[in-house]
Amino acid sequence: MEYNMNKDQAGIRIDKLKKLINHHRYLYHALDRQEISSEALDSLKKELFDLEQQFPEFISPDSPTQRVEGKPLEKFSKVKHLKPMISLNDAFSREDMEDWAIRISKLLRPEEISKMDFFCEPKLDGLAIELIYRSGILETGSTRGDGLLGEDITQNLKTIEAIPLKLRDLAEVLNDLKKDGLLETAKRFSEEGKIDIAVRGEVIITKSDFEKINSGQERLGLPLYANPRNLAAGSLRQLDPKIAASRHLDSSLYEIVNDVGQKNHQEEHRILHILGFKTNNKYSRFCQNLEEIFAYQNHWQKDRQKIPYEIDGIVARVDNNDLFRKLGVAGKAPRGAIAYKFPLKQATTVVEDIKFQVGRTGAITPVASLRMVNVGGTAVAHATLHNEDEIKRLGLKIGDTVIVGRAGDVIPQVVAVLHDLRNEGARDFIMPKVCPSCGTILVKPEGEVAWRCPNTDCFSRRERYFAYFVSKNAFDIVGLGPKVLEQLLDQGLISDPADLFDLKEGDLVPLERFAERKAGKIVEAIQSKRKVLLPKFIFALGIRNVGEQTSIDLAKIFGNMDNLKKASFNDLQKINDVGPVVAKSIRDFFQNENNLKFLEKLEKSGVKIILPKAERSSQKLAGLAFVFTGEMLSLSRNEAKERVRNEGGEVSEAVSKNTSFVVVGANPGASKMAKAGKLGVKVITEEEFLRMVKN
């Protein structure tokens, strides 16, 4: 990505980025401490890398892009690596990968480019290690350390069963090498009469063991591990091997350091396997070109839960070792290999402005306008800041660099402000005193965090309510997007949603860009939704604090609108999850004259409330409450909820002691998982869930 900066600005920015990255790298690698997510750190590294590419005059030997991370811990004796143990550059997009291909192609001859292919494998999230075997016996095992000197953690590594203390017998190895056509390597080993080898790979832990260990930490009130790398590091960089032994650590190897006659990377993997190491061969693929690499990366991005270990992307490496060596090293990374990461659920960017949105209930929400950034695979230009207090808590100014995060399909949020990167031009935000839409003076009701526009006729509020009224969980009318609604409101054709049902094709045709067909279609779509299920009708009213599940519960208990209108404060509170606040909102709604008139008007305009089918397919899940977190593979969140309800079960958004099951998909929310752990709520996978709802 190209930045719109002059040289001076770039110099200042690069300087600040370097300092901040170095600080966090030190915390992470030397002290095993983490203050910002590794994703946010990767995002900063990427900005620095891109800026340095744009302004190469600022590349200096002390830049984090040039040096291998980490410092060895004092308490371990040091091991000098045979060759520097370096790292990899990251790519986050096809464009980054194309840039990489161009960079390396410039260094090769045409005939070399034409025979260049790639070996691709998953990038494991673990701790890098080097193992040295002499005469087939494990002699030393070490961490990366500063890349030149590692920490000797042999005793700890010896507790890991996947790491052979002794390689397979020479005769067996020679036999298998020959069978696999690895003749050069067989020849070398047989001439030597023994196997001396230095290999590298990753210490990893399965996702399920990782979760188990974190649940244990939680029970003991100990801090949780942020990721498998941290856990592996925390276990291996301990003087007492008993700790490592208790952790079910695993390993997977991907590199042979010394020359044992291997011609390409693929052969390295095969040799490692024959020697008795665990590798990730079965997940790897040989790719001829970038398109195949994209397909491979895409495949694992979708299917990453099929690998029992956490992976954060793939590694693509020029397969041929002669070419790989020729490409050499730039800074801290070989030119011939790259880590093509999965989209980050967190990324860093700049807040260019703060705007204010008026919600359906009048609540004013500050929204950050962002320099466009890719978060979790989608371009993001806005993030919610929730309310004024939140901005104060974050200490955010306009112009600041922030960490933006998103989990699943929720709205992107500003997670933290990187104050160290603040520019001189940063300015304070000012909460408006009047509604940005209608100019009414804002109020802040006691005990609430949000400023509100009290004007029920406020244009923005009405527009929002219309959008809510036609949304999927309410009347579900398609074709009435914000643009259409705005025009209809502007022209005075509608003032409340009941008016929608009186619209005629002829009303719409004169409007701008309403070609006849579109007008007819919209009217048809509205008319087809005249009949509405009671729970959807209740939801559509937009009663404060009444969401989808509460609407369903109210419909089930009261059976019709008359009963609901008459329900007392106490009646209401008998319902699951309805406390005094929700009960009061409902009472207030039905005591308001305007609302009652609106209900009458809806009835007059032909809206018919129908009841959900009394006989459900079965009531298998009656009495059970489900919470969903993360993305599921085989069905959408809404379909999953529907299934639960069809079987008589309930769905709620938050984990509580009443939750029966938390269903986890890919990338689950940390807080829901932690809460489930704390309350001892059973956590099940998508497959287990599907088995429960299957007939």
Contact code string over 197-216 relative to ligand IVH, x by CB under 6 A? -----x--------------
Structure token pair of residue 614: 């009394």
Are 268 and 121 a contacting pair, CB within 8 Å?
no
Classify residue 161 by its DSSP letter.
T
**DSSP states of 334-391:** ETTEEEEEPPPSEEEEEEEEEEEEE-TTSBEEEEEEEEEEEETTEEEEEEE--SHHHH
124 is a site residue for ligand IVH (CB under 6 A) = yes
Number of H helices, E strands in the chain: 27, 24
When the beta carbons of 147 and 668 are compared against ligand IVH, the nearer one is 147
Classify residue 29 by its DSSP letter.
I
In 3D space, the residue among 158, 133, 173, 343 whose CA is nearest the CA of residue 273 turns out to be 173
254 is a site residue for ligand IVH (CB under 6 A) = yes
**Given 334, 376, 412, 497, the residue binding ligand IVH (CB under 6 A):** 334
- Alpha helices per DSSP H over 237-383: 241-245, 265-275, 290-303, 321-327
Q: How many residues line the site for ligand IVH (CB under 6 A)?
A: 14
Residue 104 vs residues 99, 101, 285, 330, 336: alpha-carbon distances, Å: 9, 5, 21, 11, 7
| Secondary structure class of 6 (helix, strand, coil) | coil
Task: Give me the residues paired with residue 366 across strands.
Answer: 356
Residue that the structure tokens 């965090």 belong to: 449
For this structure, is 158 an active site residue? Answer: no
Catalytic annotation, pick one of 18, 45, 123, 675: 123
Minimum distance from residue 329 beta carbon to ligand IVH (Å): 8
Structure token pair of residue 28: 């992470």
121 is a site residue for ligand IVH (CB under 6 A) = yes
250 is a site residue for ligand IVH (CB under 6 A) = no
Minimum distance from residue 315 beta carbon to ligand IVH (Å): 4
When the beta carbons of 88 and 186 are compared against ligand IVH, the nearer one is 88
When the beta carbons of 201 and 630 are compared against ligand IVH, the nearer one is 201
- The region of 85-93, 218-226, 292-300, 630-638 touching ligand IVH under the rule CB under 6 A is 85-93
**DSSP states of 441-473:** BPB--TT-SS-B---TT-HHHHHHHHHHHTSTT
In 3D space, the residue among 362, 364, 360 whose CA is nearest the CA of residue 466 turns out to be 360
When the beta carbons of 14 and 339 are compared against ligand IVH, the nearer one is 339
Minimum distance from residue 453 beta carbon to ligand IVH (Å): 49
**Given 79, 232, 339, 693, the residue binding ligand IVH (CB under 6 A):** 339
Minimum distance from residue 264 beta carbon to ligand IVH (Å): 14
86 is a site residue for ligand IVH (CB under 6 A) = yes
Minimum distance from residue 265 beta carbon to ligand IVH (Å): 9
When the beta carbons of 123 and 464 are compared against ligand IVH, the nearer one is 123
Structure token pair of residue 123: 């990038």
Minimum distance from residue 249 beta carbon to ligand IVH (Å): 15
39 is a site residue for ligand IVH (CB under 6 A) = no
Minimum distance from residue 337 beta carbon to ligand IVH (Å): 6
Binding to ligand IVH in span 392-431, by CB under 6 A: none
- The region of 80-88, 167-175, 242-250, 359-367 touching ligand IVH under the rule CB under 6 A is 80-88
Backbone angles phi, psi at 275, to 5 degrees: -70, -15
**DSSP states of 473-490:** TTT--TT--HHHHHHHHH
Structure token pair of residue 519: 């007008």
Contact code string over 494-533 relative to ligand IVH, x by CB under 6 A? ----------------------------------------
When the beta carbons of 117 and 388 are compared against ligand IVH, the nearer one is 117
Task: Give me the residues paired with residue 201 across strands.
Answer: 129, 253
When the beta carbons of 341 and 452 are compared against ligand IVH, the nearer one is 341
88 is a site residue for ligand IVH (CB under 6 A) = yes
- Alpha helices per DSSP H over 559-636: 561-566, 569-573, 580-591, 593-604
Contact code string over 291-320 relative to ligand IVH, x by CB under 6 A? ------------------------x-----
Amino acid at 53: Q
| Secondary structure class of 151 (helix, strand, coil) | strand
When the beta carbons of 334 and 677 are compared against ligand IVH, the nearer one is 334
Are 177 and 274 a contacting pair, CB within 8 Å?
yes
Task: Give me the residues paired with residue 29 across strands.
Answer: none
- Alpha helices per DSSP H over 491-579: 505-508, 516-527, 534-540, 548-558, 561-566, 569-573
When the beta carbons of 37 and 437 are compared against ligand IVH, the nearer one is 37
Minimum distance from residue 254 beta carbon to ligand IVH (Å): 4
Minimum distance from residue 231 beta carbon to ligand IVH (Å): 15
- The region of 46-54, 83-91, 207-215, 468-476 touching ligand IVH under the rule CB under 6 A is 83-91
**Given 18, 24, 29, 123, the residue binding ligand IVH (CB under 6 A):** 123
Task: Give me the residues paired with residue 204 across strands.
Answer: 250
Are 177 and 271 a contacting pair, CB within 8 Å?
yes
- Report the run of H or E that residue 38 belongs to, with start and end: helix 38-54
When the beta carbons of 45 and 386 are compared against ligand IVH, the nearer one is 45
Distance CA 250, CA 214 (A): 17
Write out the catalytic residue numbers: 123
Which residues of the chain form contacts with ligand IVH (CB under 6 A)? 86-88, 121, 123-124, 128, 202, 254-255, 315, 334, 337, 339
